[in-house]
Amino acid sequence: MIFWAIVIIILDAILYINLISGNCSQNCWLFFCVGIAIAALGILFRTFTKMRAGRFEQLQEELRNTRQENNELMDRISNLREQQIMSRTDKDLV
């Protein structure tokens, strides 16, 4: 997607240079050139936004996994504490 946006921008620049040099003297070509440039920039913006959103989703997934691991570790710690308390009370009873 980015490749095609760059190709469009390059072709648009060539068209714009022709407009400035005087090879094309009609205003409709200028509007066409501006429209193509806006479309290419829109493609780039959308692509970068999707890439950024993908990174955000990846970070959220990593955070979910880390929280799940943290909860599992907290459960294991609480189980170990319970076992320690039970073993101490058993020793006190004997």
Q: Which of 13, 53, 56, 25 is nearest to 5 (CA)?
A: 13
pLDDT tens figures, 55-84: 888 888 999 999 999 999 999 999 999 988
| Domain boundary assignment for the chain | 2-67
Confidence (pLDDT) at 47: 82
Please give the model's pTM, rounded to 2 decimal places: 0.47
Burial of 33 per CB tally in 10 Å (0-12, 13-18, 19+): buried
Percent of the chain with pLDDT over 90: 20
User: Which residues are within 8 A (CB) of 36 and not within 5 positions of it... i.e. 6 or more apart?
Assistant: 8, 11, 12, 15
